[in-house]
Amino acid sequence: MKVSVVIPTFNRAAQIRGALESVFSQTWKAFEVIVIDDGSSDTTEEVLASVMHKIRYIKTPNHGVSAARNRGILEAKGDWIAFLDSDDTWEPEKLERQAAAVNRFKAKVCLCASMDETKERLDDLQRMDPELELGGERFYPQGDYRLFMHSKHPFLQSMLVEKAALMQAGIFDESLKVAEDTKLIYGLVMGFGYCVVNEKLVNICRDRETPGLSDTVSLRNAFKQHQCYIRVQAEAYWRLIDVDAAAAAMVRNNQLYFMSRQAEIACALGMRDLARRYALSGLVFGGQWKSFVRSFLVYFLYPVASRVFLRKWSSNHGVN
């Protein structure tokens, strides 16, 4: 197996060396490490100068993380690809454990567990399959949709995937500002099945020096993000409805949640008609009761909702 590691980065000069060192320290050595610098304006290139002989460094104009990852995929010479963000790290045996698993199960996709700085688990792998012991491995074939039954899918940084499968799934949707990883993971799971290594092998950094797009919670950015969340869940719903009613219902619940949150955000922005349209779409029994109540409040008690949600966002996040 030749594994190409793709690391997109943007103004992470203070953290990218840590990410790279965790790749260099792998017990399974990567075939190549590709760093796609998405238009950084800090000292990233200078910081990487001493390891340029170990990596393929490509600097591009700033087009976003999906474009950077796609460039890395297209540049990759390995037949397998692993993704790592420039402020996250891997445990030393991450690639070795996953390479062994995909070989054992003849799988095209492998996922593992992740943790944050406090060692708290950040995925639902254990809830997804309570019988899978810690450190255990299992293959879930195409047509097993249990991953959709839970709100937290494994992180993209935990994935090892065959490049051919990745290309067939359609790589990253560059029109999405967020949830591009969710769309890709959903597509791979539905198209190929996947195996799991139930061990925390990925360290996700939540104490970011520079906020990422998903950390930006102003009203206008939140509105754009929720458009992406709604779209991805809607696409998954229509793909699942014909093959697994329970999984489709769970994805529908996710969509209703994002609909109600979008109604809240539009309400705080003063977009009355749009807020009520989102709220009306969210007024469906069978979802989460909080989502229903939020949509009900926006649709039937708009003046009250407007004051409540504007105060909430103005005090906690900022309106701009």
**Alpha-carbon distance values, 147 to 116, 125, 153, 247, 286 (Å):** 21, 8, 7, 8, 20
Q: What is the pLDDT of residue 214?
A: 46
Q: Tell me the pLDDT of the chain (320 aa) as tens digits.
A: 999 999 999 999 999 999 999 999 999 999 999 999 999 999 999 999 999 999 999 999 999 999 999 999 999 999 999 999 999 999 999 999 999 999 999 999 999 999 999 888 988 888 899 999 999 999 999 999 999 998 889 999 999 999 999 999 999 999 999 999 999 999 999 999 999 999 999 999 987 655 554 455 688 999 999 999 999 999 999 999 999 999 999 999 999 999 999 999 999 999 999 999 999 998 886 678 999 999 999 999 999 999 999 999 887 655 54
Does any domain span residue 94? yes
- Which position has the token pair 């969340």? 229
Question: Which ranges in 91-218 belong to alpha helices (H)?
Answer: 94-105, 125-128, 163-169, 180-192
Same domain? For 153 and 283 the reply is: no
> Is residue 106 in a domain?
yes
Per-residue pLDDT, 295: 95
Secondary element (H or E) of residue 3 = strand 3-9
Q: Specify whether 45 is located in the same domain as 118.
A: yes
Q: What is the pLDDT of residue 287?
A: 72
Phi, psi of 177, deg, nearest 5: -80, -35
CB 206 within 8 A of CB 120: no
Whether residues 183 and 248 fall in one domain? no
Q: Are residues 159 and 230 in the same domain?
A: no
Statement to judge: residues 194 and 256 lie in one domain: no
User: Is residue 224 a part of any domain in this protein?
Assistant: yes
Helix (H, G, I), strand (E, B) or coil at 222: helix
Q: Is residue 50 domain-shared with residue 128, that is, in the same domain?
A: yes
pLDDT at 316: 61
Residue 209 lies in a domain: no
Question: What does the pLDDT read at residue 217?
Answer: 62
Closest CA to 256 of 286, 236, 235: 286
The pLDDT assigned to 313 comes to: 87
Domain match, 197 and 247 both: no
Q: How high is the pLDDT of residue 213? A: 43
Q: What is the pLDDT of residue 211?
A: 53
Q: What is the pLDDT of residues 169-186, one digit of tens each?
A: 999 999 999 999 999 999
Shared domain check, 111 and 56: yes
Q: What is the DSSP string of 31-92?
A: SEEEEEEES--SSHHHHTGGGGGGSEEEEE----HHHHHHHHHHH--SSEEEE--TT-EE-T
Q: Copy the structure tokens of residue 247.
A: 């999984």
Place of tokens 């003849």: 106
Answer yes or no: do 160 and 289 share one domain: no
Per-residue pLDDT tens over the stretch 180-234:
999 999 999 999 999 999 999 999 998 765 555 445 568 899 999 999 999 999 9
The pLDDT value recorded for residue 208 is 60
* Pairwise CA distance, residues 55 & 309, whole Å: 48
Does the pTM of the predicted model rise above 0.85?
A: yes
Partners of 60 in the β-ladder: 38
Do 160 and 227 fall within a single domain?
A: no
- Fill in the amino acid letter for 104: R
Which residue, of 142, 176, 203, is where some domain finishes? Answer: 203
Answer yes or no: are the C-beta atoms of 23 and 5 closer than 8 Å. yes
> Would you state the pLDDT for residue 216?
52
Note whether residue 186 is domain-resident. yes
Domain interval for residue 64: 3-203
> Domain holding 99: CATH number?
3.90.550.10
Q: How far apart are CA 13 and CA 41, in angstroms?
A: 10
- Claim to verify: residue 193 and residue 76 sit in the same structural domain: yes
DSSP assignment letter at 107: -
User: In 3-state terms, what secondary structure has residue 319?
Assistant: coil
Distances (CA, A) of 66 to 49, 72, 106, 142, 221: 25, 10, 28, 25, 17
> Beta 160-162 vs 89-90: how paired, if at all?
unpaired
Q: Which of 203, 225, 260 is the last residue of a domain?
A: 203
Which pLDDT does position 152 carry in this prediction? 87
